[in-house]
Amino acid sequence: MIKVIVTGGDGMMGQTIKKITNDSKYHYKFINRQILDLTHRNRVLNYFKYYASQGYNHIIHLAANVGGLYKNMESNIDMFSDNIRINENILEACHKYNIKRGIFVLSSCIFPCNPSKFPMDETMIHESPPHYSNEGYSYAKRMLELQCRQYNKLGCQFICVTPVNLYGPYDNFNLKNSHMIPGLMHRFYLTKKSAGKYVAYGTGNPLRQFLYSEDFAEIILQILHNSTVTDGNIICCNDKEYSIKEIVNLLASVMSIKTTDIVWDTTKSDGCMKKTVSNNKLKSIVNCEFTDLKEGLMKTYRWFNQNFYKIRK
């Protein structure tokens, strides 16, 4: 049996992977910050030493200090420092205790804000700076890609996967620190209860790609189980791109809100205007069936309503 440590076990992707795993050839150990502080080197080394002795030799590294645009803008130092520490500790522990194969999750925000071409591909991560708003998180994730490449020279099989904007059940719906879709969903939900004004941030003009969490979980497991993939970086996205305004209007439709009732607060930052990436490499490696965005939003909103009083918010 192949045994896999999964960091970030209580996050959206950890919970989603837990939900869909049913392969008897694999056993998963999900850890969260209550079990282990990943910024604490000695605790990480001791934990991995023990579980490596129990036969764990694979990892899915999901954990990170992560948040939406406005959390990044306010916390670039913390986002950089925490994530560098986490990744340093995880990689050192894996290498030291013979956990040789794993999936390490990056983010599409690491790509240049002003690239030489669109769509961007895997070769362009370090081409030029990311957007200033999230440079702390972005550079920490860029360094994770670099670190994995160096460990692979020592015989490891550390594969980086780079998803676009993720959304789905189990997400963080905090009004201040969440990503766009969960934050907007929560804000609109509260507005419906109070009969106030529906407010969306920015101009609505930036373009974004989105990926439903269960689709990404399936991709992660396919890559982990595919022994022919031993290194490299793989962008994970579907085939469509939307403006922020299209996303807001689509979510409004799902939540039975009139788009004419939405007010745009253009004093808020748009972030990077466009960061389109290619999924050509992904499609050459895994079988992808992407969830339609409206269907994914409906599933997410249904879960949000059913679990409102216990979700992260």
Residues serving a catalytic function are: 137
The 10 Å CB-count burial string (b at 16+, else e) for 128-166 is eebbebbbbbbbbbbbbbebbeebbeeebbbbbbbbbbb
Distance CA 121, CA 275 (A): 11
DSSP-derived 3-state class of residue 269: coil
85 close to 45: Cβ distance less than 8 angstroms: no
* Phi-psi label, residue 271: left if phi above 0, alpha if psi -120 to 50, beta otherwise: left
Structure tokens at 41: 């080197």
**Residues contacting residue 166 through CB under 8 Å, at least 6 positions apart:** 12, 13, 179, 210, 211, 212, 213, 216
**Strands, E assignment, 95-241:** 101-105, 157-163, 165-167, 198-201, 207-208, 210-212, 233-236
Q: Tokens for 212, please give them.
A: 């439903």
Q: What 8-state DSSP symbol labels residue 250?
A: H
Question: Which residues are CB-neighbours of 68 under 8 A, at least 6 positions away?
Answer: 177, 178, 179, 180, 183
Asked whether 184 and 138 are in contact (CB, 8 A), the reply is no
Say if CB 120 and CB 275 are below 8 A apart: yes
